[in-house]
Structure 1
Amino acid sequence: MSIKALAAKIFARKIYKKTQAWAQRPVEIQEKVFQNLIKSAAQTSFGKDHYFNQIKKVEDFQKNVPVRDYEDLKPYVEKVIKGEESILWPGKPLYFAKTSGTTSGAKFIPLTKESMPYHIEAARNAILHYVNETGNTDFVDGKMIFLQGSPILTEKYGIKFGRLSGIVAHFVPRYLQRNRMPSWETNCIEDWETKVDAIVDETIKEDMSVISGIPSWVQMYFERLQQKSNGKKIGEIFKNFNLFIYGGVNYEPYRAKFEQMIGRKVDSIELFPASEGFFAYQDSQKEKGMLLLLNSGIFYEFIKADEFFEENPKAITIGEVEMGINYVLIISTNAGLWRYNIGDTVQFTSLAPYRVIVSGRIKHYISAFGEHVIANEVENAMKEAVASTNIVINEFTVAPQINPSNGLPYHEWLVEFEKEPENMEVFAETIDNSMRKQNIYYDDLITGNVLRKVVITKVSKNGFQEYMKSQGKLGGQNKIPRLSNDRKIADNLR
């Protein structure tokens, strides 16, 4: 065992114990985070506008501060962008992470000297929890690749601007610099396809042991590797590749394709990062869900998704949540986001400690007929269909067809197959049955002859990549919505 591997095991044990210390006191820890946030921001413009000096408890906070999305917070953000200080958080942020909004165009999310360290620590601690549980340190001496955005930043009024993954690239610890790939020059390439080809050239002969990124774009990297190596399995190219780290989307729809491309199973770690904060990571290979980070400068509130669009939906705190309910995640952070709706929905898989899965997006659902189908349901249905029919898919999305040329309306599943099912009708039936079991409203619509069963539409090879390219969203942190309540994506793919 190398010195680095031994040090990783010792450090992993230390971090595990530190995590347990706060995870066993969730309500107390969240109350402490809340009080620190209110105290720190009391003299900011936002704090004065919302009477932070009068806030003593969460109920006061909820009364004084409405739930906001980016558009609601934008007037404050624009003041910070123009160089004004102590608007949302004391002083100026270190960075603005630029991210693509689904309805707002580009969004600029502040990162402060208080919030930035938690982004770095969380990613590190996820790996250390894996080491502590499995004892596996084989990967620490190999090369590691992180498929991410360009680290080139711009600066205005003393604040740097860039993509979150590009900002994070500036914080890679020294002990990982020798192992980290691709090179800085390659990482700075803006065009995604050119960048992936350059990464392939740099890495194909290296001893890659850890690969990290959004599954859809890692898949593209794997495909280019196989083209370059005359069809070799990824596991043959990288004999010591044994850990895949991912976030952004559910891995399950991609798992079969990945294992086929790799030629074997590899361990994986799921992360839940966003420009707004690093919320959770998979702390155990044995338990479902990701550990919600309650001690990272973020105060969490939760609103039931099926009540979210009511006039005054009730927001609850960590001690009041229940298992299996779909909650909209509301955050207040040490970067100056206050009762901010990030758009993600979560479900708790454990309450001791608090673990979550990302169940979808509050704006990404299908409810054209009142069924309110969410991403978690369609992903579960696809997982079941893939397992029972032995097929392989590259990508899929779902949309309603309200006005078909004939017959009843339906949900259209647009699927890019790597290996098609022998019987498409059986495949569709499996999906439909799973959806009916998961969603009583969908079942009622089928039973009542309001909807007919799902319709599968085949998408041509690389169809999803071509669509993303046409939208200027190829690569990086961009991803295809798993489902939508309109046909903008579906009609483009068709």
Structure 2
Amino acid sequence: MSIKSIAAKIFARKIYNQTQAWSAKPVETQFEVFKSLIQNAKDTQFGKDHHFDTIKTFEDFQKNVPVRDYEDLKDYIEKVKIGEENILWKGKPLYFAKTSGTTSGAKYIPLTKESMPTHVNAARNAILHYINETGNADFVDGKMIFLQGSPILTEKHGIKFGRLSGIVAHFVPKYLQKNRMPSWETNCIEDWDTKVNAIVGETIKENMSVISGIPSWVQMYFERLQEKSDGKKIGEIFKNFNLFIYGGVNYEPYRAKFEQMIGKKVDSIELFPASEGFFAYQDSQKEKGMLLLLNSGIFYEFIKADEFFTENPKRYTIGEVEIGVNYALIVSTNAGLWGYNIGDTIQFTSLKPYRIIVSGRIKHYISAFGEHVIANEVENAMKEATAGTNIVINEFTVAPQITPANGLPYHEWLIEFEKEPENMQAFAEAIDDSMRKQNIYYDDLITGNVLQKVVITRVSKNGFQEYMKSQGKLGGQNKIPRLSNDRKIADNLK
């Protein structure tokens, strides 16, 4: 055992003990964060506009600060972007993380000197919790790859702009620099196809022990590795690869394909990072869900997803939530976001400590007929339908078909298979049965002959990659929505 791995175990135990301390008093921890946020922002323009000097309780805050999305906060952000100070948070942010997609184009999310360390520390602590629980620290002596966006930044008015993953690349600790791959030059390549090929060239003969990234893009990296090595399993190429770290999407739909490509099972750690904050990470290999980070400069509120679009829905705090309920996640942060709807929905799997799963997006659902289908349900259905079979899925998405040429409307599952089912009809039945068990509204529509059962459409090899490329979203942090309430993606794929 190396000195580095021994030191990692000692540090891991320290971080674990610190986590145990704050997670044992969740409500108190959140109240301390809340008080600190209000105190630090009371003299900002936002703080003055919303009378932070009068806020003493959560109830005061909810009366003064409505739930917002990016569009509602945009006027403040535009002032920060042109260099004005003390607008959303004291001073100016260090960075703006550019992320995709609102009705007005790109979003620019501030990162401050107070918020930036929480992103870095959370990623580190996720690995340390793994080391503490498993005792496995040998991987720290191998090479680690983090598939991410370009670290090239631009600067305006004293604030740097870039992708979150590219910004974080500037904060890799010195003790990891020698282990980290790819090279800085390769990481700066913008074109994803070119970048992946360069990464393959740099890593194929290295001792890779940890690989991290969004599953769909790691899969592309694995495929290129196999092309360059005459079809060898990833576990043969990288004999010491035993840990996969991922975030952004649910790993379960990809797990069978990954295990087939790797040639063995490897441990995995799930993360929940976003430009708006690093919210949770998997702290245990034995328990379901990710530990919600209650001490990281983020005050959380939760709105039941089925009440979200009603007038004045109730905003719950951490002491009021329940297991298994679908909540929209609302955050206020030490980067200057206030009552901010990040767009994700979560469910609690544990209240001691508070662990969550990401169940979908508040705007990514299918409810063309009132069925209220969410991402977690379709992913569970796919997992159940493929369990115990040889079926391997590369990627899939689901969309409603409201006006079919013949017969009743239906949910269309567009699937790129690596290995198809022998009986496609039976596979479709298995998916449909699972959906009906999970979602009573969907079951009622099938029973009432409003919808016919699911219809599966094959997507050609690399069809999803080609679609993302056509949209200018190949690689990086971009991902295919698991389901949509319209047919924009479905019709493009077809």
TM-score band by shorter chain is over 0.9
Structure 2, unpaired ranges of 5+: none
1:393 maps to which residue?
393
1:69 maps to which residue?
69
- Residues in 1 aligned to 2:290 and 2:104: alpha-carbon distance in whole angstroms: 29
- After TM superposition, the structure 1 = structure 2 runs for residues 417-428 of structure 1, keeping only pairs within 5 Å, are 417-428=417-428
CA RMSD of aligned residues (A): 0.5
- Residues in 2 aligned to 1:319 and 1:447: alpha-carbon distance in whole angstroms: 39
User: SS at 1:101's partner residue?
Assistant: strand
- Residues in 2 aligned to 1:402 and 1:101: alpha-carbon distance in whole angstroms: 26
1:173 maps to which residue?
173
1:351 aligned to 2:357? no
Residues 131-182 of structure 1 show CA distances to partners (whole Å, capped at 9, x for unaligned) of 0000001201000000000000000010000000000000000000000000
1:159 maps to which residue?
159
- Residues in 1 aligned to 2:161 and 2:264: alpha-carbon distance in whole angstroms: 40
1:254 maps to which residue?
254
1:13 maps to which residue?
13
- Residues in 2 aligned to 1:363 and 1:473: alpha-carbon distance in whole angstroms: 19
Residues 379-406 of structure 1 show CA distances to partners (whole Å, capped at 9, x for unaligned) of 0000011114320010000000000001
Contact 1:211 1:244 in 2 (8 A): yes
- Residues in 1 aligned to 2:164 and 2:41: alpha-carbon distance in whole angstroms: 24
- After TM superposition, the structure 1 = structure 2 runs for residues 75-90 of structure 1, keeping only pairs within 5 Å, are 75-90=75-90
- Residues in 1 aligned to 2:53 and 2:431: alpha-carbon distance in whole angstroms: 53
Residues 284-317 of structure 1 show CA distances to partners (whole Å, capped at 9, x for unaligned) of 0000000000000000000000000001100000
Paired letter, 1:463:
G
2:433 maps to which residue?
433
- Measure how far apart 1:125 and its partner are: 0.1
2:54 maps to which residue?
54
User: SS at 2:201's partner residue?
Assistant: helix
1:461 aligned to 2:432? no
- After TM superposition, the structure 1 = structure 2 runs for residues 7-406 of structure 1, keeping only pairs within 5 Å, are 7-406=7-406
Aligned length: 494
User: SS at 1:77's partner residue?
Assistant: helix
Residues 450-491 of structure 1 show CA distances to partners (whole Å, capped at 9, x for unaligned) of 000000000000000000000000000000000000000000
Q: TM-score, normalised by structure 2?
A: 1.00
Structure 1, unpaired ranges of 5+: none
User: SS at 1:398's partner residue?
Assistant: strand
- Measure how far apart 1:102 and its partner are: 4.6
2:476 maps to which residue?
476
User: SS at 1:315's partner residue?
Assistant: coil
Contact 1:329 1:343 in 2 (8 A): yes
Paired letter, 1:43:
D
Distance 1:402 1:388, change over 3 A: farther
Contact 1:389 1:427 in 2 (8 A): no
- Residues in 1 aligned to 2:483 and 2:156: alpha-carbon distance in whole angstroms: 37
Contact 1:305 1:326 in 2 (8 A): yes
- Measure how far apart 1:68 and its partner are: 0.2
- Residues in 2 aligned to 1:236 and 1:104: alpha-carbon distance in whole angstroms: 47
- Measure how far apart 1:101 and its partner are: 1.7
- Residues in 1 aligned to 2:386 and 2:202: alpha-carbon distance in whole angstroms: 34
- Residues in 2 aligned to 1:33 and 1:282: alpha-carbon distance in whole angstroms: 22
User: SS at 2:387's partner residue?
Assistant: helix
- Residues in 1 aligned to 2:108 and 2:146: alpha-carbon distance in whole angstroms: 23
Q: TM-score, normalised by structure 1?
A: 1.00
- Residues in 1 aligned to 2:351 and 2:60: alpha-carbon distance in whole angstroms: 26
Paired letter, 1:451:
L
- Residues in 2 aligned to 1:102 and 1:357: alpha-carbon distance in whole angstroms: 24
- Residues in 1 aligned to 2:311 and 2:118: alpha-carbon distance in whole angstroms: 34
Contact 1:305 1:327 in 2 (8 A): yes
Contact 1:70 1:104 in 2 (8 A): no
- Residues in 1 aligned to 2:456 and 2:247: alpha-carbon distance in whole angstroms: 27
User: SS at 2:259's partner residue?
Assistant: helix
User: SS at 2:92's partner residue?
Assistant: coil
1:446 maps to which residue?
446
Residues 60-82 of structure 1 show CA distances to partners (whole Å, capped at 9, x for unaligned) of 11011110000000000000000
- Measure how far apart 1:112 and its partner are: 0.1
Residues 216-236 of structure 1 show CA distances to partners (whole Å, capped at 9, x for unaligned) of 000000000000001000000
- Residues in 2 aligned to 1:465 and 1:417: alpha-carbon distance in whole angstroms: 13
- Residues in 1 aligned to 2:260 and 2:425: alpha-carbon distance in whole angstroms: 24
- Residues in 2 aligned to 1:194 and 1:389: alpha-carbon distance in whole angstroms: 35
Residues 244-302 of structure 1 show CA distances to partners (whole Å, capped at 9, x for unaligned) of 00000000000000000000000000000000000000000000000000000000000
- Measure how far apart 1:104 and its partner are: 3.8
User: SS at 1:389's partner residue?
Assistant: coil
User: SS at 2:53's partner residue?
Assistant: helix
Paired letter, 1:160:
K
- Residues in 1 aligned to 2:105 and 2:263: alpha-carbon distance in whole angstroms: 40
Residues 199-246 of structure 1 show CA distances to partners (whole Å, capped at 9, x for unaligned) of 000000000000000000000000000000010000000000000000
Paired letter, 2:21:
A
- Residues in 1 aligned to 2:180 and 2:101: alpha-carbon distance in whole angstroms: 30
User: SS at 2:398's partner residue?
Assistant: strand
- Residues in 2 aligned to 1:36 and 1:209: alpha-carbon distance in whole angstroms: 40
User: SS at 1:210's partner residue?
Assistant: strand
User: SS at 1:394's partner residue?
Assistant: strand
